[in-house]
Amino acid sequence: MEVRYDNARDTFIEALERHAIDELGIRDNPELIDLVKRLIRLETAKDLDILLTTKLKKVYKLIRKEQKLKARFVNRKQWEQETFQRFNIYFRIQHIMLFTSVIILIITGLPIKFPESSASKILMFFMGGIVMQGILHRVGAVLLIAFYVFHTGYTIFNKDGRRDFIALLPGLKDIKDVLQMIKYFFGLSKEKPEFERFSYVEKFDYWAVYWGGIVMVGSGLIMWLHNLTLRYLPKYVYDIAREAHSDEALLATLTIVIWHFYNVHFNPSRFPGSMVWWHGKLTKEQMLEEHPLEYKKFIKDKEGRHGS
């Protein structure tokens, strides 16, 4: 009796293993097959009686998790070796702060710009009315102002920040790059312009946000604190602030949606977007494609460090 029972158990476990291997599609991966077998035996050893579908699902889940971890571990080593840290943690936090606040501000601000559109009415309904909209817009504003404070501090006190600010100043090379790009676009030249740390596109984006931010935060604060500002400033200043806020908001929204989204999401080599905003790393290929001069500098620095 004992023997027969044991056989039944083994048969069952084997069937389970075959099923799991088929289900996961890991037939030609001996390492993972081994893992599956071990996990199934581990699970079944605990309590065979309640090994039902739910239990099996749990096993699959565990295996998948392990698989993912392993794949990530393998890739990570490779990843670390072949990528370049282009944006540090402060840079990435600033970008996340900026886009979070801008998305909030655009969504909460658009209904005020187009009050008679039915889409605005729907948006307003989901925001919970004009009072809630006002609160949310101010939350976005506070985040945006915090971003500007953070950025100013970063530019002044951080070594990378100072370097980036200087690298972002427009120069003669940018005009040359634009001309070269136009030549390249029309097929007059086969060479794309070679960019340094920031291309003219990125410089345009930076200064557009810089100018836009001053206009938006300035005019926004005049309106937010209107009872205070109108004590010292005539009403037409408020009207100017309102006009500028509304117009610059539209300009910024269109620029982001058309230009920035094209550059980072919708162009064929980027679609549907990358995770650079999260890890701040570019691969060698991407570096050579987009910032060849910066890549050369990276390599030089690395060699310099190894040499010393």
Partner 1 sequence: MKKIKYVFFIITILLVPFNAFSQAPLYQKCLLCHGRPGFKKMLPDGNTLELFVNKSELEHSIHSKLHCTDCHADVMEIPHLKTPGKVNCYRCHYKDNPNGALPANEFFKSIHGKLAAQEDPKAPHCQDCHGGHNVQKVDSPLSTVNHRDVASTCGKCHKAQYDNYIQSIHGTALLDRHIQSAPTCTTCHGKHLILKPDDPEATIYALNVINVCSHCHENKELIKKYNIPGGRISTYKESYHGVADEFGSARVANCSSCHRAHFILPQNDPRSSINKANLAKTCGKCHPNANVNFTKGKIHVNYKSRSTGILYYIGMFFEILTMSTLTLLFIHILLDLFRRYKAGEIGKKTKHGD
Binding site for partner 1 (CB under 8 A): 111-112, 115-116, 121, 124, 129-131, 133, 182, 184-187, 223, 226-227, 230-240, 242-244, 247-248, 250-251, 254-255, 258-259, 262, 267-271, 274-275, 283, 285-286
Closer to partner 1 by Cβ: residue 182 or 214: 182
CB 166 within 8 A of CB 157: no
Closer to partner 1 by Cβ: residue 150 or 224: 224
- Residue 243 has which token pair? 């006009």
Residue 30 preceded by cis peptide, ω within 30: no
Closer to partner 1 by Cβ: residue 12 or 79: 79
Closer to partner 1 by Cβ: residue 91 or 200: 200
Closer to partner 1 by Cβ: residue 77 or 121: 121
C-beta of 48: minimal distance to partner 1 in Å?
43
C-beta of 131: minimal distance to partner 1 in Å?
7
C-beta of 28: minimal distance to partner 1 in Å?
23
CB 36 within 8 A of CB 20: yes
At a CB cut-off of 8 Å and minimum separation 6, what does 208 contact?
A: 252, 255
Provide the 10 A C-beta neighbour count for residue 260: 18
Q: What is the C-alpha separation between 31 and 248, in angstroms, rounded?
A: 58
Q: How far is CA 170 from CA 73, 166, 209, 217, in A?
A: 41, 9, 15, 24
C-beta of 259: minimal distance to partner 1 in Å?
4
C-beta of 5: minimal distance to partner 1 in Å?
51
CB 105 within 8 A of CB 246: no
